[in-house]
Structure 1
Amino acid sequence: MGEMFECVLFTASLSKYADPVSDILDKWGAFRSRLFREACVFHKGNYVKDLSHLGRDLNKVIIIDNSPASYTFHPDNAVPVASWFDDMSDSELLDLIPFFERLNNVDDVYDVLKEQRALG
């Protein structure tokens, strides 16, 4: 995915905890940058990932997250996923690869994401 997209790790975790874990998980260097809790906005008791901080055209940005509170400011950019708890057989992200490949060929992700949400 890192070859097709500009992948950014954006987590509500503190950098002192998440950065070392990210080093282990991202052994191929797919993430071009990392944003931590310090880059989130504290809003109504939750840490929200404000995608406008990326400085990118939001028509070309998606957020993949298990917490709807994290994308409160940009729900139309969201690809919701289930929470992951040490299930080594989990394949949700792998199953999404064809969908991500489809997004690579569009100028505006909103239409594709809206269509995907309508499918359920």
Structure 2
Amino acid sequence: MEYAQDDFFDLTKLQPGQTHAPNGWLLDSQPDALKGRKCLILDLDETLVHSSFKYMRQADFVIPVDIDNQIHNVYVIKRPGVDEFMKRVGELYEVVVFTASVSRYGDPLLDALDVHQSVHHRLFRDSCYNYQGNYIKNLSQIGRPLKDTIILDNSPASYIFHPQHAIPISSWFSDAHDNELLDIIPFLEDLSKDNVEDVGIVLDINM
């Protein structure tokens, strides 16, 4: 279901407590170095990585997270192809990782994951839009033209307001033979081109 933006339901309006940039949007103005690029919003958990408090022998890295003044180790495995995927999209897009997780977990994870410095912005749970008890990634609040904005997320509930701007991806936990990130690269290369004037129209047809 798609929600119309009307007088009764203004999707651009911030909710109390929502963290945002000084300009009133979730992101500051597009940096000059990225001018003209489309905006790609990436989910984190079960899209790029899988994390667990339980010991995982195959973990690619371990991050300490402070919860109630106690340090807990979080074991993280990377989805196959994530390094190549991140490197390529960082060359093509203004890349935003937007996760419903909290920053004390997401920040150190991204510090370890983003080996190519491909992520230009990070948004966390406190920037999500609360709707019927769900944390929504509200693309109308990002501060970028919707026609240039794409979200890649394993959870359709996250982009319930903007399904026509989404590239769905299956939830990933440990399948070593998964190729979805690498398979998506050619499509994202095409969408990044100047002749694509509205990504929503292309995604609506292809998805």
Task: Please classify the TM superposition score into its range, dividing by the shorter chain length.
Answer: over 0.9
Indicate the percent of aligned positions where both proteins have the same amino acid. Answer: 53
Query: CA–CA distance in 1 between the matches of 2:204 and 2:160?
Result: 16
Aligned partner of 2:126 in structure 1 is: 38
The answer to whether the 8 Å contact 2:100/2:128 transfers is: yes
Moved more, 86-95 or 58-67: 86-95
Larger relative helix fraction: 1
Larger relative strand fraction: 2
Q: Give TM-score scaled by structure 2 length.
A: 0.55
Q: Give TM-score scaled by structure 1 length.
A: 0.92
Query: How many residues are aligned here?
Result: 117
Q: 1:107 to 1:76 in 2, by over 3 A?
A: same
SS for the counterpart of 1:113 is: helix
Aligned partner of 1:16 in structure 2 is: 104
Give unpaired runs (5+ residues) of structure 1.
Answer: none
Which of 151, 169, 174 is the equivalent residue of 1:63?
Answer: 151
SS for the counterpart of 1:83 is: coil
Give unpaired runs (5+ residues) of structure 2.
Answer: 1-88
Query: CA–CA distance in 2 between the matches of 1:53 and 1:60?
Result: 13
Which of structures 1 and 2 has the bigger CA Rg?
Answer: 2
2:187 paired with 1:104 = no
- For each residue in 1:19-42, what CA deviation from the matched residue of structure 2 results, as whole angstroms up to 9, or x when unmatched? 111111111111100000010011
- CA-based RMSD of the aligned residues comes to 1.0
Larger RCO of the pair (alpha carbons < 8 Å, separation 6+): 2
SS for the counterpart of 1:63 is: strand
AA of the residue aligned to 2:101: S
